[in-house]
Every structure is written in structure tokens, then in C-alpha cells.
Structure 1
Amino acid sequence: MVLPLVACGGPTDDDVVVFAASSLTDAFDDIADAYTSSTGESVVISAAGSSDLAAQIDEGAPADVFASADVATMDRIDGVDGAARIFATNRAEIVVEPGNPHGIVTLGDLADPELLVVVCAEQVPCGAYTTEVLDRAGIDLTPVSFESNVRAVLTKVELGEADAGVVYATDIAAAAERVDGVAIADEFNVEAEYPIVALGESGEAFVDFVVGDEAQRILREHGFGAP
């Protein structure tokens, strides 16, 4: 079960509460179902930008597990001290409207001043990865907006509010009928590493499940790479 960051009623004491990066939404929904089928334990997933989730945890939000889209955000959590485990990887990709009407084929095309380009804010993982990709390619962009999480970038392109953006390859796969993707050359791309950590004993079994064979198969089905 995936819930927004703030939900009416909230989880019960018996639920395993998982804070997960927004790019993990679809995969973790399936993983939560598989975990519940295997253990009988209910899982509640709050999916949002990794930075927002980290801030919530720092403020005392009751989470049993945190899965981030980058190591830097995970390292902000007090008490983690190297306990996090890398469980998946991802790649950046350009998202465009169906049929790619503007003929975008390279990162350099995003610098066209006629295009409406959206990206993640630099303080969130997808924004940090985007900045690194653009720096490697020597491209200076002037986005029309900076979004708080990667799904917000995807949604703006889906709705026609932007011509293109930079998201994760898995986001494009999840919205394959509503957007198209343009690959970023390997020489400029980065590998996003996803760490996960139990924030208490009640989350340890779920973390073990995520790094296990069944959950790893689900992650591959959603387009994530092996750790």
C-alpha cells in the first residue's frame, strides 16, 4: 500500500512503515505486496522526494525503513553510520512528449531556448544527478521550473506543461504509454545508487527482503539495475 507523505488516519503500530524515494513508488508497491504475502505483515509506503523524507525522519517521523535515491541523502540521517545497503541502481534519461515532437536526440538539444525544460531541484537526488550529467556534457540549461521530486518532472511532461525533462530511466518505463524517452550517452550519464536502511528492529526483515532474490527480481522488472 502506497500512501502520500501525509495521509489521513496513518499507519497502525503493526504496520511496517517504509519511507521510499518517489522513483521507487511502483516497484515498492509490488515489493510490499510480495512481502505481505510472504510474512503476513502489512507495509505502508510513504513515497516522496528523498530529501523531504530525510527531513521528516530528522524531525521524528515514525518510519521503520528509509530507501533513498542517493547515498548523500542517506548520510544525512543520524545514526545510520554506514549501515545502509545499496539495493538498486538507475540511470538518467531525457523524458519527452509522445512521438518526440521537438526532435530531441541529445542533451545539447535541451539548451534550445524555445523548449520548456523542467528538472529536479539540485538539493534532491534527481537534481544532483542531472547537474552532474549536464556538467559532464558541458551544457548550461535554463529550466522553466525546478521540481521537488522526479515524479513531478515526469508529470509536467505527461500533462504537456513542459516539452522535456531529465528523470530516471525507470520513470519513463513506468509511464511508457504517456511519454517517450531519449537515452543519454554513456560518457555523460551517471549511475544512481539506491541505499536502504532499517531505522529500528521492526524494519530489519523488510530490508532483508528487499535485498533478497524475490524483491530483486521485482526491481529488475521495473527497470532498476543490480546493486
Structure 2
Amino acid sequence: MAAVLRWFAALVLAWALSAPPASAQTVTVFAAASLKDALDDIGKAYEVRTGVKVRVSYAATSAIARQIEQGAPADIFVSADSEWMDYLADRGLIAPASRRDLLRNRLVLIAPANSRTRLRIAPGAPIGPALGRERLALAAAQVPAGKYARAALARLGLWRDVQGCVVDAENVRTALQYVARGEAPLGVVYATDAKIEPRVRVVGVFPEATHPPIVYPAALTTASRSREANRFLAFMASAQAARTFQGYGFTIPRR
């Protein structure tokens, strides 16, 4: 009898070790490319804390919004502007009550780290002459970083000087890499992008009044079936996550 009980106990133990934990679920997040480093760290911290797997798909906000519109299985959408969040809200694809503004950012002009370019961002700044025959790296016009950049350059009266010299990148991280690799002498990216790339330096910061506020809203999608999605959304707005975001250069809106 004792041998049978030992065998049964061993069988139960083997089953327990092989079975996934009760909390082992997955949360799928579609997020703006500029969030990658910070959100990767936050996702890992949440996994360690809860055992829940956090999968994040990064791309231009416009691209991931379209993917969600076409039925991609996202639980949470984190946009780099309000317009694309509004776009999905207008189509009934996000849960309105879950929407919150998570983060703020700044827009900067960058050059390769070894560049000697010196410019002051102001009306009439000689960005066009500084480019010479080379290109200004911007995220594409439909991408939030690209929209902010074009708005700022237009407000400063500089867009006409540079519009023929722009190289469009699919997202802001690609624009960052064009400058980091020396393929473009100047680029416009978020301050947080410049902070994580040692091969570039910030030439100047665009005044906030030159472009719409750079806000990152987040929300649950109406298609989400994950019981953990709302908990992870709340974790992204927690004090612990805020410290991580701030470490990467983001600011936290007043709530």
C-alpha cells in the first residue's frame, strides 16, 4: 500500500511540475516603436512579478493601428499620439473607459555623435544649408513622430527649406538609425530615442509650442479576451513602471 501511495504522490508531483501555473497567461501589446526599450523592461518586470507572459509588437503607430483595425489579436494598444487612438475609438475597437494618457515626450534634432554641426532651433535656423546635398531623416508623414516633426518645422518657417531633402523612415527608430549609421547628417526624433543611441547627439530641442503635445495614450482593445490585460494596463500606469519610463527619458502626465 505504501508503495502505491508513493507512486501516486510521485505521479501528482510530476503532473504539477509539468503543468503551467494557474496564472500563466499571455498579454499581447501593440505599441509605438519609440517605447521598445522601456516597455521591454516593464514587461519583464511584470512577468517576474506575476508569471504572466507579456508579448509586445512594436512598429509605427499608424501601422499597428491599421493591424488592429484588420483584426490583429492585440489586448492593449499604446499609441504615440491621440489621433490614432481616436481613429480606433471611432471604429469601436478600444474600450473607452480603459483609455489613459501614460506618457509625454519631447522632439529633438540629432546629428551623428562625431558631427561638428552646431545649430540653434529657432525661426530661420539654417537646417537646409547644413544638410547641403544630404538628407534629413524623418519618420513618414502618417507616423506620429513624422507629423510632429513636420508641424514643428512648418511652425518655425523651415519646412520649405528642407522638404525636398527629406528621407522618409517607416518609424522613428528607423530615422534614428539613419543618423546613427551616418546615412543622414541630421534627423528629428524623440528625446527618448536619442537617449538610448550613443552614436548620435542632440543638436537642439524643439520648443513644445511648435507642435502638438506628444502624448502616449493606452487602452484595452474591445477584442481582448485576456483576463490579465487590464492588470497589465494598470501596471504600466503604476509608480514602478513610471520610474522605468522616466529612466528612459519619458515624462509622466499629471493625473
TM-score, length-scaled by structure 1: 0.88
C-alpha separation between the residues in 1 aligned to 2:135 and 2:194? 18
2:242 aligns with 216
* Greater than 4 Å deviation, 4+ residue runs: none
Following superposition, the deviation at residue 190 of structure 1 comes to 4.9
Query: Structure 1 regions of 5+ residues with no counterpart?
Result: 1-12
Change (3 A) 1:169 1:44: same
Aligned with residue 104 of structure 1, among 104, 109, 119: 119
Moved more, 185-194 or 195-204: 185-194
> What letter matches 1:195 in structure 2?
P
Aligned to 2:12: none
1:149 corresponds to 2:168:
no
Structure 1 residue 189: Cα displacement: 5.4
Instruction: Kindly tell me the number of residue pairs found equivalent between the two proteins.
Output: 214
Superposition deviation, residue 81 in structure 1: 6.2
CA-CA distance at 1:205 after TM superposition: 1.0
Separation (CA, whole Å) in 2 of partners of 1:17 and 1:37: 16
Q: Distance in 2 between matches of 1:190 and 1:63?
A: 27
Offset of residue 151 of structure 1: 0.3
- On the 8 A contact 2:108/2:206 being kept in 1, the answer is no
Conservation of the 8 A alpha-carbon contact between 2:119 and 2:204: no
Q: How far does the alpha carbon of each residue in 1:31-75 deviate from its partner, in whole angstroms, 9 at most, with x for none? A: 101111121101111111000000110110111111010010111
SS state of the match for residue 191, structure 1?
A: coil
CA RMSD of aligned residues (A): 1.8
Q: Which amino acid aligns with 1:145?
A: V
Matches within 5 A, 1:40-51: 40-51=51-62
Decide whether the 8 Å contact of 1:17 with 1:64 is kept in 2.
yes
Q: Which residue of 1 is the match for residue 44 of structure 2?
A: 33
Corresponding residue of 2:145? 126
CA contact (8 A) 1:95 1:164 kept: yes
* 1:96 and 1:182 in contact (8 A); partners too: yes
Tell me by how many angstroms 1:106 deviates.
2.7
**Which has the larger Rg?**
2
Question: Match of 2:73?
Answer: 62
The share of aligned pairs that are identical, in percent, is: 36
1:182 maps to 2:203 = yes
Say if 1:214 and 1:131 are closer, same or farther in 2 by CA, change over 3 A.
same
- Corresponding position of 1:226: 252
CA distance in 1, matches of 2:121, 2:75: 41
Deviation string, structure 1 residues 117-165 (Cα, Å, up to 9, x no partner): 1111111100111112112211122233111100010010011110011
Q: Hey, what does 1:3 align to over in structure 2? A: none
More helix by share: 2
Counterparts of 2:116 and 2:203, CA distance in 1: 12
Partner of 2:233: 207
- Unpaired stretches in structure 2, ≥5 consecutive residues: 1-23
Corresponding letter in the other structure for 2:216:
Y
Equivalent pair of 2:106/2:206 in contact (CA under 8 Å):
no
Q: Is the 8 A contact 1:19 1:65 kept in 2?
A: yes
